[in-house]
Amino acid sequence: MRLFVGLTDGGWVERVRALGPGDAYLWRPHQRGFRALAPGEPFLFKLHAPRDAIVGAGRFVEARRLPLSLAWLAFGPSNGVADPQAFRRRVERAHPGEAGADPVLSGVVLDHPAYLAEADWVPVPADWRPSVAHGKVYDGPAGRALWATVQERLGPAAATWDAGDAPLGPGRLRLQVAEAYGRRCAITGEHALATLDVGHLVPPSQGGPERVDNALLLRADLARLLQHGLLTVEPDGFVVRVSAAVRATYGALDGRALKVVPERFDLLPGREYLEAHRANAYRA
């Protein structure tokens, strides 16, 4: 049994906890790599001193270095910050004068982080030292004992981690969509990440799956048009159609084929989702 106890900002814990179930990005404002865990192993959240306690855990998915703009596009408030401006201020406070136009962060993607009630916080192991800068690996009997305690107090939230691969969370989906489209708008080719958003063809709220082939990376205004049924994409040739209601402004896009599509066949917009959007959402 192997796990990692990582120093975690209390503000990050509180903000991500308030968002409810999902996935999250626990970042640091530098490019230090993380190789301590394999996918599926537990990452435990330890607060900074003087609150020397383990307060929750997430299932480690992967380590990713992401520019701040892409981290926000994918995970939004699940970065533990309220908005992009607050995100940038946090990074600049950590490294004054070194943030750059779009600073690259080092972090870990976590599946469905779960949190302990304060009465159930777990004291750090006796061998934890104040000199630990980022975190510490525990394995063998010590790791098993620590995880047994945390797992018991987390209850069902931790038990589900043993069921194999977790469903793709919204942050991981958005990250995969951004990468599949080369970080460019599918319709216009725009590549400024701050202007882009992910639009679902069949929204999860209507039973649509969290899959790359059920989503498009679009300029934010076009993603809103897709969401409101004022723009759609035909399955044959991936031709864009624009509703008469907004044709005065967006008519130049009508009849164009998508400019950017994923290279992998299985990531292309799915016919069933395109047809569903055209039949159920699009207002010609």
**Encoded tokens for 234:** 């035909």
* Total structural domains within the chain: 2
pLDDT tens figures, 185-211? 999 999 999 999 999 999 999 999 999
Looking at the structure, tell me whether residues 128 and 238 fall in a common domain.
no
**Encoded tokens for 90:** 């946090």
pTM of the predicted model as reported, rounded to 2 decimal places: 0.91
Q: Which residue do the tokens 């406070």 mark? A: 93
Looking at the structure, tell me whether residues 17 and 84 fall in a common domain.
yes
Of the residues 107, 131, 163, the one at which a domain ends: 163
How high is the pLDDT of residue 174? 97
Looking at the structure, tell me whether residues 152 and 227 fall in a common domain.
no
Encode burial over 136-159: b for 16+ CB neighbours within 10 A, e otherwise.
Answer: bebeeeebeebbeebbebbeebbe
Instruction: Chunk the chain into consecutive blocks of 10 residues (it has 284) and report each block's average pLDDT, rounded to whole numbers.
Output: 93 93 87 86 93 94 94 96 92 73 91 92 93 92 94 82 69 97 98 96 94 98 98 98 98 98 97 98 95
Looking at the structure, tell me whether residues 80 and 21 fall in a common domain.
yes
Question: What is the rounded CA–CA span in Å between residue 281 and residue 50?
Answer: 53
Of the residues 98, 129, 163, the one at which a domain ends: 163
Q: What is the CATH number of the domain that holds 46?
A: 2.30.130.30
Looking at the structure, tell me whether residues 6 and 146 fall in a common domain.
yes
Looking at the structure, tell me whether residues 25 and 135 fall in a common domain.
yes
Looking at the structure, tell me whether residues 211 and 273 fall in a common domain.
yes
Looking at the structure, tell me whether residues 258 and 124 fall in a common domain.
no
Looking at the structure, tell me whether residues 185 and 242 fall in a common domain.
yes
Residue 42 sits at φ, ψ, to 5 deg, of -75, 140
Looking at the structure, tell me whether residues 273 and 141 fall in a common domain.
no
Write the single-letter amino acid at 121. W
Residue 225 sits at φ, ψ, to 5 deg, of -60, -40
Looking at the structure, tell me whether residues 141 and 51 fall in a common domain.
yes
How high is the pLDDT of residue 200? 97
Write the single-letter amino acid at 266. D
Of the residues 111, 140, 163, the one at which a domain ends: 163
Q: How far is CA 65 from the centre of its chain?
A: 13
Looking at the structure, tell me whether residues 38 and 158 fall in a common domain.
yes
Range of the domain at 191: 170-280
How high is the pLDDT of residue 68? 94
Question: What is the rounded CA–CA span in Å between residue 149 and residue 138?
Answer: 13
How high is the pLDDT of residue 94? 76
Q: Which residue do the tokens 């018991």 mark? A: 152
